[in-house]
Amino acid sequence: MNHPTQLSKYAINQVIGEGAMGVVYKATDTVLRRTVAIKTLRRPLVEQGGGGALLARFRNEAQAAARLMHHNIVAVHDYGEHDAEPYIVMEYVQGSTLKEPLRRGTRFDDADIVGLMGQLLDGLHYAHEQGVWHRDIKPANLLWTNDGRLKIVDFGIARIATMGLSQVSSTIGTPGHMAPEQYAGEQVDRRVDIFAAGVLLYMLLAGRPPFVGSNENVMFQTLSSEPLPPSRVHGSHRPQWFDPVVARAMAKRPDDRFATAMEFKHALMAQASQALGLPPIAARLEAGSSFIELQSAPTLPDPRASDWQRGTFALDTRPQPVTTRPSQWHSETLQMLESELAQSIGPLARVLVQRAARSTGDLMSLRQTLAEQIDTEAGRDQFLQRTRSRASSFGTLGSGGAAVTTRRRAADDTLLGDQVMRVAELALTQHVGPVARVIVSRAAARASSRDEFFRLLAQHVEDEDEREELMRTLESSSAGR
C-alpha cells in the first residue's frame, strides 16, 4: 500500500508495523521536534458495515490512554483524522514487546520476573485508580524498552468507568488471556486485568500458556479446569512459592482473586523476599494483607474452590537458591560483559552472557560469541574493542577458565557485602526492571561508600516518591547489617 509522508504536523519516517487493522509509523513532530509513534486505522474498516463501532473503540483507546500519565504506560499525545483515516499519536518507545522473548523461549530469572510483574502491576494499579481497566493484557501489549522499563500499550478495548461504556461486550479480548467472566459475557471490572496479569506471570514462569489448544478448548479450560501449577510444569524448574500467588490471581471467581493490582504486587514481593531470605522490600503490608492470607486457608473456604484456586496448598518455606552465574567464570568478568552488551541489545544481555559462558572456555571466544548477537557490524566492532580494553583490568584466565581478577572493587564485603547487593538488585528491579543488575554492578564499582552506592542507584528512578521509597528500603535493609 502507499504510505503517507505527512499526517498533519507529523512527518512520517518509517513503518514500524503493519497488519490487517492498520499501520504503526515512526514519525517526527515537526513543531515540538520529538520522535513519536503513530497508529492508524485503515479507512476501508471504518467505511464498511460495523465500522462505526470500530472507530468508537479506536477513539476510546485515545481517550482512555490520554488520561493516564504513568511511566509504565505508553503516553498518548494526540488524536486526529486524515482523509477519513483516524490516527493516534503516541510516545515512541525503543524496544520490543514481551511476545518476542517469550516466543523465542527466553528464560527469565526469578528476580527478573518479579521486577517485570511489579512494573506491570504498578501501571495497572494507576490505570484502575483512574477508573480505567485494560481488558486485553497480554505479551503483545507490553513493551519492554532497551533500558528495562515495561510499558503497557493498546487501550483499544479499555473500559472507562465514568464514560458509561458498560454496553460494550464483555467478551471482547484475546482467548487465553481473558477471565472467565469475559467468556461468559458478564459484567467486568478491574479484576479481569488481575486474571490476565496472572496468566502472564504463569507464562513467564512456565515458558508456556496455562491454557492451550483451539479457541474453544481454551475457553472450556478457562471456565472449568485448573492449569498445572508453574513449579510442576516440565522443564520450568521454578520454586513453589510462586504457585499460590499465580493461583490466587487466576482464580475462576473474581471474589477469590486479589482485589487490586497493588495487593497482587504486595503478595508477590512479600513471597519473593521471604523465599530469597531477604528483608521485606515491598511496600509496608498492613495487618490482614494478602501475604498473610496466602499462608493459610480462609476460615470459611468456598467448598467449590480447589486448593489451586485458593492458593493454600503446602509451600516449601525453605529459602530457594538464587540463580547464579556459571561457576567457571569470575563474576566480575561476566558483569563487565553484561554491562557492555546491554548497551547494544538491552536487558537480554544477561541471559545471553550466561548462556554463552556455559558453552565457551576462553575469554576471546566468549567475547566473539556475544558480539554475534549485535545486529550491526559497527556495533560488534565497538563491543569487541570496549571489552578488550576493559578485560585487561580483570587479569588473565586461570587454568580452569576462571578469570583471575587483579583489582579490588570499591564495593567489597566490608563495604557492601553480597546480601546488601542482592537486596539492592531486587529492590531496584521493582522500579527499572531487569537492567537493575547492570546498574547495581556499575554503581558498586564506582561507589566509595555505602551511602554513595545507594545514591547512585536512586538516580535511576524517575518518580520522586518511588525514589524515596527505594532509599528507605535500601537504608532499612542495611541498618541491620
How is 331-395 classified by DSSP, letter by letter?
HHHHHHHHHHHHHHHGGGHHHHHHHHHTT--SHHHHHHHHHTTSSSHHHHHHHHHHHHHHHGGG-
pLDDT at 154: 83
| Residue 181 pLDDT grade (very low, low, confident, very high; cuts 50, 70, 90) | very high
Q: Does domain 6-91 match CATH 3.40.50.1100?
A: no
| Identity of the highest mean pLDDT range in 35-39, 68-72, 306-310, 442-446 | 35-39
| Residue 211 pLDDT grade (very low, low, confident, very high; cuts 50, 70, 90) | very high
- DSSP letter for 330, please: -
Q: How far is CA 103 from the centre of its chain?
A: 15
The domain limits of the chain are 6-91, 95-310, 331-394, 418-479
| Separation CA 38–CA 76 (nearest Å) | 10
Three-state secondary-structure class, residue 7:
strand
| Separation CA 390–CA 37 (nearest Å) | 37
Q: Is the pLDDT of residue 407 over 70?
A: no
| Separation CA 195–CA 193 (nearest Å) | 5
Alpha helices (H) along 79-179? 99-103, 110-129
Q: Is the pLDDT of residue 423 over 70?
A: yes
| Residue 406 pLDDT grade (very low, low, confident, very high; cuts 50, 70, 90) | very low
pLDDT at 109: 86
Q: Is the pLDDT of residue 414 over 50?
A: no
Which element (helix H / strand E) includes 249?
Answer: helix 243-249
If you average pLDDT over residues 282-287, what whole number do you get?
36
Note if 136 is an active site residue: yes
Cβ partners under 8 Å of residue 463, min gap 6: 71, 431
Among the listed residues 29, 112, 122, 136, the single catalytic one is: 136
Q: Is the pLDDT of residue 89 over 60?
A: yes
Average pLDDT over the chain reads 77
| Identity of the highest mean pLDDT range in 6-10, 107-111, 300-304, 326-330 | 6-10
Per cent of the chain over pLDDT 70 is 75
pLDDT tens digits for range 334-359 = 888 888 888 887 767 777 888 788 76
pTM of model > 0.85:
no
More confident residue, 158 or 39: 39
Largest CA distance in the chain: 73
If you average pLDDT over residues 388-393, what whole number do you get?
65
Q: Average the pLDDT over each of 64-78, 189-203, 231-245 and give the range with the smallest value.
A: 64-78
pLDDT at 416: 62
pLDDT at 221: 93
CATH number of the structural domain 95-310: 1.10.510.10
Q: Are 457 and 441 in contact (CB under 8 A)?
A: no
pLDDT tens digits for range 424-479 = 888 888 888 777 777 887 777 777 778 888 888 898 888 888 888 888 888 876 66
pLDDT tens digits for range 98-116 = 998 898 888 888 888 988 9
Q: Are 478 and 447 in contact (CB under 8 A)?
A: no
Q: Is the pLDDT of residue 239 over 90?
A: yes
Of 477, 411, 479, which Cα lies nearest the Cα of 273? 477
Q: Are 276 and 322 in contact (CB under 8 A)?
A: yes
Question: Same CATH fold, 95-310 and 6-91?
Answer: no
Burial of 396: CB neighbours in 10 Å, binned 0-12, 13-18, 19+? exposed
